Amino acid sequence: MGYVNRNEYKELDNLLWDTRKKFIDPRDAFALYERRWAYVDKNKLTRDELALIKLLTEKIGNGYFMPTAA
């Protein structure tokens, strides 16, 4: 799995408020989704972004997505 282009995923882009990197390591993207899940607008997740989260969960999280409680 290659780097994730933040510009293709609106909610991921919003979570990356503290960096200017355009391409994100998949492990970092997965960790960011888990840590900052409370800031994700679940109603704005696209099918593509949901598919990305599912893929990251399978490949990096070994099937587990455990977001940090707000």
The confidence score (pLDDT) of residue 70 equals 64
pTM: 0.93
Average pLDDT across the chain, whole number? 96
Model confidence at 69, pLDDT cuts 50, 70, 90, reads: confident
Which residue would you say has higher pLDDT here, 60 or 1? Answer: 60
**Mean pLDDT across the stretch 7-25?**
97
54, pLDDT greater than 90: yes
**Mean pLDDT across the stretch 26-50?**
97
Tokens of 51: 């598919």
User: Are the C-beta atoms of residues 46 and 14 closer than 8 Å to each other?
Assistant: no
